[in-house]
Amino acid sequence: MDKNFTEVVQSTFAEPLAAATPEVDGAMPWGQETYSTKRHGFSINNCESEPIRTPGCIQAHGALLVLRCSDLSVLQASENTLAILGHKPLDLLGHSVAAVVNEEGAIRLRSMLATEQTDRNPIYAFTLPANDEVAALDVTLHTIDGAAILEFEAAVRSQRAAGTMPHSLSQNANPDYYSFIKKSVTRIQTADTVQEFCQALAEEVRVLSSLDRVMIYKFHPDNHGEVVAESRLSHLVPWVGLHYPAADIPKSARDIFAKTWIRPVPDMHCELAEMIPRANPDTGQPIDMIHCALRGVSAMYTEYSKNMGVAASLTMSLRRESVLWGLIICHRYSGPSHVPYELRAACEFLAQVASLQYRAVEDRENATYRLRLEEVNQKLLSIAAQEGGLASMTDGEPSLLSAMHASGAALFHRDRWWRVGSTPTESQLEALGQWVVGRLDVGAIVSSVYVTHSLATDYPAGAEFADVASGVLAAPLSRSGQNLMMWFRPEVEKTVNWGGNPHDDTPAADPGDTLVRPRHSFEPFSESVFRHATPWLEVEIDAVSRLRALIMELVIVRAERLAGLNADLARSNEELDAFAYVASHDLKEPLRGISKYAHQLMEAGSPDEDDKRKLEGLLRLTLRMDSLLDSLLHFSRVGREELTLENVDMNDVLGDAMEMIGSRTSDGRTQIVAPRRLPPAMCDRVRVREVLVNLLSNAVKYNDKADKRVEVNYVGAHEASLRRTFPPGSEGQTVYYVRDNGIGIASRHFEQVFKMFKRLHGREEFGGGTGAGLTIVRKLVERHRGQVWIDSIAGEGSTFFFTTSRSDET
């Protein structure tokens, strides 16, 4: 052994530890700056300050050695090795571990380090046989941070022979853990509900361990815990339904349980054995004991447990996809209860299987609900895809509320809120939506969903509408957060039963003491809770996440498809406009020549009647073709010119249009009326005036009545009784119309009248015309993103309806 190594260790161990104080400059030798919970304690102001991963000591019912992996020399040893292993700790430091486990054991350890997965994974190595000085010992091995850790505990058969094994299976010479675990796994797998699963698990673990009380302890979203199931001795007071503050199991402890499966504490009153030296001489750091079964017990935990009357405990983790959701907590009240490695392995395995099975049981319990949510979501997507908008999800059946257990839902889409059920007001939704989007940071977190059953806790302004929205489940539908869907649940006043008053602060033992101490009272304490809703289920959160993903995929696919169609349409329109413009200009020149020569022939002499009739026909045809070309040219310009959208007084526009057709109404038999003032419209004033001029002209022109009457009016956005026959897409819009008592149009011709140069009468009837007016009307209305349609009865009159731009589309 290295002489310097021995001298340093001996001097470090021999110095008065109570007098040692850490140096600020860190110049002290290794081993002197690390303190353990055993000899020094901690003056702390919160539980998180306690170094529970590196306590510097172990539970004294076993022994621990830290080895250098390369040569298996002992770097650290617990101070109780003489009692457990028959060797003084200073005699082991620097020597090969073969001094304890003999050469065969050392060879076995080298083989395991070379072939087994030992990193942060304690595994059984072998059992050291008993001798005259020590009992048989089970040895476990794992590695961490480059060091190997050996733990020595009394062997199973040694416990059995002494009659100290607490579990019922110890009555057998060779307990059949396999058969028991198989039976237990079968039972929990067949549970139909989560509650049945938890109760069965508690009962099976209690039979396996034979401890006094076994609880299934579930963490809530705010990390406070609740006992959801238990198995106990009949005389013990039941704890099912009791809640415990998050501070009772602080974050540092929860983090450890998220990485380890089992934590035995066989004796809350046990002695602790210091590690010698206190730090690993190879690293200068205390050894991380997170995976050690013998790890020294937290001072806070032991005092907490003693206050509760617990003499021994065994705790196992319950996880869902690596996330800690609960614990299996086992208590013994009558004295120590050592759980040897073999039994711990069985308990650990059962906890692992239960963790894997939990999600399956949860899914089975929610299967019907999940299928219903998926079915409705698929229907919603289908309707949205067919109708081309998300607003349909809040109107009709199904809606966002058809399957979800919620009282209201809201969707922000196309710059407005669409609501169904009981929701906050639009102004409240506006503020809440902005806050939710900021909270989710949707630009960075694409798959984010906001979930709360106590909105006012996160968003104080939510207290104003807690009666309708204490619970919120929200998901953005775009990276920018411009689209958002939310579900709401109302406040549910309830009573929470705590295991002790969670608001009591336990004072230190002495006024000058800064050591935080756990509470002493666990008497049931009831508290009324307000501004809380029924918590959202995992199945509901999953369904919203999937619906969100499918909607975003639908929006993206549609956007890509529309982008392609718009590009093709724009190119076609440009080509069509260019053709119409060039064609009309190019055809005007030869037409003027034909007209000129026809006039010259008429003036050159006195043609006979037949030739004169032919020349007059030629002139009429040139005039008609000129009108057609003018109409074609005008139509092409309508498609190219930019619109100037503004809030226009439609009464002024109507006045201008009536003035422009004034000569056609001066016969004293034509009346144009507007029964009420027209509401304003977001439109291009000049183009909408042209629409009215065309419609008014046609109403006067195609009228064979002695007294012609034309009405200009509108149907308001909320006049539902008048809108039953209106086409889809006109919802929520003001619909203007021009109605006459003229010749009317048969229903089979409704679509034809809007076609270019399509006339239903002879060229000279009703004053002639090119048949382009209604085509231009449709073009102008569609450029406003509006619609135009007709309702007519032949012989009685016609009504032409049209809409303009929505105010939210500008």
- pLDDT tens per residue across span 34-69: 455 555 554 444 455 567 888 899 999 999 999 999
Q: How far apart are CA 253 and CA 109, in angstroms?
A: 31
What's the domain count of the chain?
Answer: 3
Residue 135's domain comprises 3-162
Between the alpha carbon of residue 298 and those of residues 249, 256, 285, the distances in Å are 11, 12, 19
Same-domain check for residues 774 and 671: yes
Give the residue from 112, 144, 162 where a domain finishes. 162
Is 284 inside a domain boundary?
no
Q: Model confidence at 625, in pLDDT bands (50, 70, 90)?
A: low
10/102: higher pLDDT: 102
Question: pLDDT tens digits for 523-566?
Answer: 555 555 567 888 888 889 988 888 888 887 776 556 556 666 66
Same-domain check for residues 67 and 149: yes
Same-domain check for residues 618 and 699: no
Give the residue from 577, 606, 640 where a domain finishes. 640
Both tokens assigned to 672: 């144009």
Both tokens assigned to 82: 């003489």
* Max Cα-Cα span within the chain: 152
Same-domain check for residues 690 and 601: no
**Which range has the worst mean pLDDT, 428-442, 495-509, 557-571?**
495-509
**Residue 252, class by beta-carbon neighbours within 10 Å (0-12 exposed, 13-18 middle, 19+ buried)?**
middle
Q: How far apart are CA 331 and CA 422, in angstroms?
A: 47
Region at 573 (left for phi over 0; alpha for psi -120 to 50; beta for the rest) = alpha
749/542: higher pLDDT: 542
Give the residue from 610, 640, 670 where a domain finishes. 640
Q: How far apart are CA 51 and CA 587, in angstroms?
A: 94
Q: Which of 283-297, 526-540, 602-616, 675-689 has the highest mean pLDDT?
A: 283-297
Task: Read off the CATH number of the domain in which 699 is found.
Answer: 3.30.565.10
Same-domain check for residues 83 and 138: yes
Question: Given this model, what pLDDT does residue 176 score?
Answer: 83
731/281: higher pLDDT: 281
Query: Which DSSP letter does residue 464 get?
Result: G
Same-domain check for residues 613 and 754: no
Is 259 inside a domain boundary?
no
Is 443 inside a domain boundary?
no
**Residue 302, class by beta-carbon neighbours within 10 Å (0-12 exposed, 13-18 middle, 19+ buried)?**
buried
Same-domain check for residues 634 and 680: no
Same-domain check for residues 655 and 783: yes
Q: How many CB atoms lie within 10 A of CB 155?
A: 21
Same-domain check for residues 578 and 676: no
Q: How far apart are CA 810 and CA 802, in angstroms?
A: 18
Is 757 inside a domain boundary?
yes
Q: Which segments of 641-661 does DSSP mark as H helices, in order?
A: 650-660
Is 675 inside a domain boundary?
yes
Same-domain check for residues 687 and 795: yes
> Is pLDDT above 90 for 393?
no
Is 769 inside a domain boundary?
yes
Task: Read off the CATH number of the domain in which 116 is found.
Answer: 3.30.450.20
> Is pLDDT above 70 for 808?
no
Question: Given this model, what pLDDT does residue 757 score?
Answer: 53
Question: Given this model, what pLDDT does residue 312 score?
Answer: 93
Its pTM surpasses 0.85: no
Q: Which of 65-69, 270-274, 308-312, 543-547 has the highest mean pLDDT?
A: 65-69
Same-domain check for residues 594 and 691: no
Is 420 inside a domain boundary?
no
Is 144 inside a domain boundary?
yes
Same-domain check for residues 578 and 700: no
Question: pLDDT tens digits for 170-205?
Answer: 445 567 888 899 999 999 999 989 999 999 999 999
Q: With beta carbons less than 8 A apart as the criterion, state whether 261 and 67 touch.
A: no
